[in-house]
């Protein structure tokens, strides 16, 4: 059943792209419990399996029904595109207990046996404690499941944001929505998200819309966030097919023939975010040469960049990761 979001002119002026480490954390938790999502993430699953087994994720899964209402307070839309996990989890901890209780009750009602379960009853009886415990559990899940992989995930998400921001300028909002996902349709100032559970409508009322790519949401598109949270549409990020490809220990000869040895070395050296000076030192190249190679690689969609303090850090995009990981 579809989800309908009704816009006015002020809403169109308040649409924004963002990314969220908290969203990726809770959606990774959900993915563990949904085998249909495992295909793209098997290497990640093997790496986190043992650590995740040490977490009691049951309380979170109770708030994440397969169909129906999922608790919004555990993943509110971030206030800005550069929000850290620490900032986002503090927002969760600050959730009003009464608001959290209403939110949990809706999610538990759509989870088979949720309302009758001892854990569900304990959540509703003491929502303030439940908020603290859920926040603590999300923080532990972040530390063992997502934080070690965040540079790679962030690079993919930032590449998606950069791409779709450019497409918004090129083709406009209506056409962009169809490119993001065939499940998104625009007509008569209404965005319809097809394939969601239930048949809901929301008038945005000047709040605008958050558009957020996600690594773990595939193959779904999620539309929602009830008041008091800002409406959001979360869609699969581009390029997840090559996300977990490991780079080769040395520059593959085939890649060197394709890009040139020095440029291929620069691409393969970016196993973690690095600046021009660090790469130049690592590769024994002149900083000016490394800077030129970085510019070409970024223009080709193999790298993304972001400013951190006084330096610019470069990271491989999913395509760059896949190319660097190709065998000889």
Residue 67, exposed/middle/buried by CB under 10 A (0-12, 13-18, 19+)?
A: exposed
pLDDT, position 144: 94
* Pair 124, 106: CB distance under 8 Å: no
Q: Is the pLDDT of residue 79 over 80?
A: no
Q: From CA 292, how far away is CA 42, in angstroms rounded?
A: 36
Among residues of the chain, what percentage have pLDDT more than 70?
93
Instruction: Write out the residue range of the structural domain in which residue 257 sits.
Output: 245-324
Residues 227 and 263 in one domain: no
Residues 106 and 211 in one domain: yes
pLDDT, position 198: 56
Residues 223 and 283 in one domain: no
* Other CB atoms within 10 A of residue 167 CB: 14
Residues 228 and 253 in one domain: no
Query: Buried b / exposed e across 96-119, counting CB within 10 Å, b at 16+?
Result: eeebbbebbbbbbebbeebbebee
List all residues 6 or more positions away from 14 whose beta carbon is below 8 Å from its beta carbon: 206, 207, 208, 209
Mean pLDDT, rounded, of the chain: 87
pLDDT in tens, 40-51: 899 899 999 898
Residues 210 and 264 in one domain: no
Q: If pLDDT is split at 50, 70 and 90, which confidence band does 310 have?
A: low
How many domains are contained in the chain?
A: 2
pLDDT in tens, 120-177: 999 999 999 999 999 999 999 999 999 998 877 887 888 788 788 878 888 888 888 8
Sign (positive or negative) of CA dihedral 15, 21, 22, 24:
positive
Q: From CA 251, how far away is CA 325, in angstroms rounded?
A: 9
Of 50-54, 58-62, 119-123, 240-244, the least confident: 240-244
Q: Is the pLDDT of residue 23 over 70?
A: yes
Calculate the CA 301 to chain-centre distance: 19
Domain boundary among 240, 266, 287: 240
Write the DSSP symbol of residue 274. Answer: B
Residues 215 and 127 in one domain: yes
Residues 26 and 174 in one domain: yes
Residues 39 and 90 in one domain: yes
Residues 160 and 194 in one domain: yes
Domain boundary among 214, 240, 266: 240
Q: Is the pLDDT of residue 280 over 80?
A: yes
* Other CB atoms within 10 A of residue 81 CB: 14
Task: Name the one residue in this structure whose structure tokens are 């023939």.
Answer: 257
Residues 272 and 205 in one domain: no
Residues 189 and 262 in one domain: no
Q: Is the pLDDT of residue 229 over 60?
A: yes
Q: Is the pLDDT of residue 115 over 60?
A: yes
Q: If pLDDT is split at 50, 70 and 90, which confidence band does 328 have?
A: very low
pLDDT, position 327: 38
Q: Is the pLDDT of residue 295 over 90?
A: yes
Of 30-44, 170-184, 245-259, the least confident: 245-259
Residues 109 and 54 in one domain: yes
Domain boundary among 216, 240, 264: 240
pTM, entire model? 0.77
User: Which tokens belong to 307?
Assistant: 């400013």
Of 148-157, 167-176, 247-256, 276-285, the least confident: 247-256
């Amino acid at each position: 059943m579809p989800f309908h979001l009704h816009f006015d002119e002020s809403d169109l002026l308040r649409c924004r792209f963002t990314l969220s480490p908290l969203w990726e954390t809770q959606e990774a938790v959900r993915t563990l419990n949904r085998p249909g999502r495992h295909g793209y993430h098997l290497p990640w699953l093997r790496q986190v399996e043992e650590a995740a087994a040490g977490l009691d994720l049951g309380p979170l899964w109770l708030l994440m029904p397969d169909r129906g209402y999922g608790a919004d307070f555990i993943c509110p839309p971030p206030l800005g595109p550069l929000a850290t996990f620490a900032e986002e989890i503090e927002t969760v901890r600050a959730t009003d207990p009464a608001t959290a209780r209403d939110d949990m009750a809706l999610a538990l009602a759509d989870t088979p046996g949720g309302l009758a379960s001892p854990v569900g009853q304990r959540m509703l009886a003491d929502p303030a404690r439940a908020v603290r415990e859920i926040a603590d559990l999300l923080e532990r899940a972040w530390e063992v499941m997502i934080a070690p992989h965040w540079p790679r995930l962030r690079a993919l998400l930032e590449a998606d944001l950069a791409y779709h921001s450019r497409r918004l300028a090129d083709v406009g909002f209506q056409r962009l929505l169809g490119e993001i996902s065939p499940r998104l349709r625009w007509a008569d100032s209404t965005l319809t998200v097809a394939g969601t559970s239930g048949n809901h409508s929301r008038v945005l009322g000047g709040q605008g819309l958050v558009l957020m790519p996600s690594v773990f949401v595939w193959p779904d598109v999620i539309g929602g966030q009830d008041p008091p949270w800002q409406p959001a549409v979360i869609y699969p990020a581009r390029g997840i097919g090559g996300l977990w490809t490991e780079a080769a220990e040395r520059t593959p000869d085939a890649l060197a023939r394709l890009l040139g040895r020095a440029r291929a070395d620069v691409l393969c050296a970016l196993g973690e975010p690095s600046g021009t000076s660090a790469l130049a030192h690592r590769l024994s190249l002149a900083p000016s040469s490394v800077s030129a190679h970085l510019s070409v690689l970024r223009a080709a969609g193999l790298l993304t960049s972001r400013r951190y303090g006084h330096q610019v850090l470069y990271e491989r995009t999913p395509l760059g990761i896949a190319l660097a990981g190709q065998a000889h």
